Amino acid sequence: MRSCNDLGKTSHLGGDTDELGVMLRKALTTNQTLTSLDFSKCHFDSVTFVAMSGSFMQMKALKSLKLNYLELDEPCTLQLCNALDSFPITTLSIANCAIGESAKSASLLSEALGHAQTLTNLNVGNNKLGGRCCEKLASFLKGETIVIRTLNMEGNNFGAEGGMEIASALSHCHSLTSLDLSNNDLGEDVGCEIAESLREIVSFGVVKRRTHIKHLEISNNPFGGLACIEIIKSFYNEVTLYIGLSNVGLDEACGEAIGEGLRKPTIHWESLDLSHNKLAKEGANAVWWSMRKNNSVFYLNMSYNEIGAVFGTSDDERGNHGISIDSALARNFTLRYLNMEGNGLSAAAGVSLAESLAVNASVQHLNFKGNNLDYVVGETLGWRLQDDEQIKSCNLNGNYMGWKGGLALANALFTNRFLVSMDLGYNKLGENGSKVGIAIAKSLFQNNVLRTLILCGNRLGPQSGFMFAETLRKNKSLTYLDFENNRINEEVGEKFH
């Protein structure tokens, strides 16, 4: 059954829902073949859920149960826990169900999970279970017959003490391949324990304990630099593909540790989220120098890392080796997604950066929002995009393309047949009147590929608005246009209607 519908809502055509729980219980009880049931984001009240969930204990074939975004109070949680003892479920997803608002509900759930040793996929994210239930959850993770592969416990406010219980239990989860512990207020000691529990152990050339973690998400926890270094080094292995380390306290030394991992040919990291940290210039350089020869990472998010205006300029050059990010972009053939948003990169950095992007052979999605790049980047990228069949999305919001960079990018849109998303919001495109706005609007007569265009906050003026109103009558590809804060008047608004 499918989720995300209005089941549970009274309506004129659908009728009253007073007997819905009883009706569902009768229907589901008679079904002996249903293996997957998803009621996520439906609109059941407590009475309906309790009545309906009595059928779970009779559904012997049921393997997957998803109840995300249903508010499960104590009676609902008790009924669910009784059901978990009745059939060999393999997938249980009850994220965002407010279970932690009741201490008894959280305790009931943690205890019931201890008996659900057939679970391979468990999602109890964003339930604010708190540290009080961590001992029982840890007991579940230490079960001798546990076969859990995917475990999501994000947003449960485990804290230091509860987090330590969970972290130490992870060493017993030999089948675990995906783990999410983000948003749990886990500190330095817990971070070090996570590293110790999940690292691969090799003694005298013999692997004593292998790691199976392919996907690790531990963002939004105050680990700090020392713990982060331990975590990073614990995933110097051939297995892990994704590491989420957003807002965890990465510093310059962590950048060195990440760079060391990127240089190792036996490490196959594919996606790294390093956003909202403090790698600063030196930490960023350590990463980018290693990216020159890395051939595994295709997604790199380094947004909001206080990298600064000197990074990527001639003052940041290293002898004959040049500039780290420019050298990497010119040589790397693997990176597809690059996010450097909000790092205060300067116009001087943009000059050489634009030249590197012009010859890069891999990046398809660019995000340089909220920096200080100027028209040189716009002109160089415009030249690149004219006949480009590589870049799919480009976000330059909050820079200073000005009218020169804007015209170059507008000209590119006339001939480009590959770009699907362009964000040029707040770039002072209208500083020389409506010339850029009119040029972009005219390009859309020819362009039948672009889906998203953001031009907000550019003071493009009413003449641009009139041209866009005319363009939109004929363009058949654009699905989203943001033209807010562009000094258009009531007359233009009428044309849009």
Place of tokens 């976000």: 395
CA atoms within 13 A on the CB side of 95: 14
d(CA 52, CA 78): 13
Vertex 458 angle, CA 455 and 462, to 5° = 90
Helix residue ranges, H only, 241-279: 252-263
CB 268 within 8 A of CB 238: yes
Work out the number of other CB atoms within 10 angstroms of the CB of residue 398: 19
Sign of the four-CA dihedral 382, 384, 386, 391: negative
Closest CA to 369 of 335, 333, 393: 393
Place of tokens 């290293």: 318
Task: Give the per-residue pLDDT at 2.
Answer: 54
Task: Give the per-residue pLDDT at 11.
Answer: 63
Q: Where are the extended beta strands (E) located within 144-298?
A: 150-152, 178-180, 201-203, 206-209, 215-217, 242-244, 271-273
| pTM score of the predicted model | 0.94
d(CA 122, CA 175): 13
Phi, psi dihedrals of residue 388, rounded to the nearest 5°:
-75, 140
Closest CA to 210 of 169, 244, 177, 168: 177
d(CA 483, CA 311): 33
Q: What domains sit in the chain, N to C, each tagged with a CATH number?
A: 1-129 (3.80.10.10), 132-249 (3.80.10.10)
Tokens of 480: 């989203």
Which residues touch 433 (CB under 8 Å, ≥6 apart)? 461, 463
> What whole-number percentage of the chain has pLDDT above 90?
70
Task: Give the per-residue pLDDT at 224.
Answer: 97
Q: Pairing between strand 178-180 and 215-217?
A: parallel
Which residues touch 417 (CB under 8 Å, ≥6 apart)? 389, 447, 448, 449
For residue 215, the cross-strand partners are 178, 242
Closest CA to 247 of 290, 185, 202, 289: 185
Question: Which amino acid type is present at position 20?
Answer: L
Tokens of 264: 């190792």
Task: Give the per-residue pLDDT at 12.
Answer: 54
Task: Give the per-residue pLDDT at 267.
Answer: 95
SS3 160: helix
CB 217 within 8 A of CB 180: yes
d(CA 88, CA 92): 11
Which pLDDT tens digit goes with each residue over 23-78?
A: 888 888 888 889 999 999 998 888 888 888 888 888 888 899 999 999 999 999 99
Task: Give the per-residue pLDDT at 15.
Answer: 60
d(CA 466, CA 437): 10
Looking only at Cα atoms, what is the longest distance across the chain? 79
**What does pLDDT average to in each consecutive run of 10 residues of the chain (497 residues)?**
65 65 86 90 89 86 92 90 84 93 83 85 94 90 90 96 95 94 97 94 77 96 97 95 98 97 96 98 97 96 97 91 93 96 95 88 96 94 92 97 96 96 97 94 94 96 91 92 89 75
For residue 44, the cross-strand partners are none
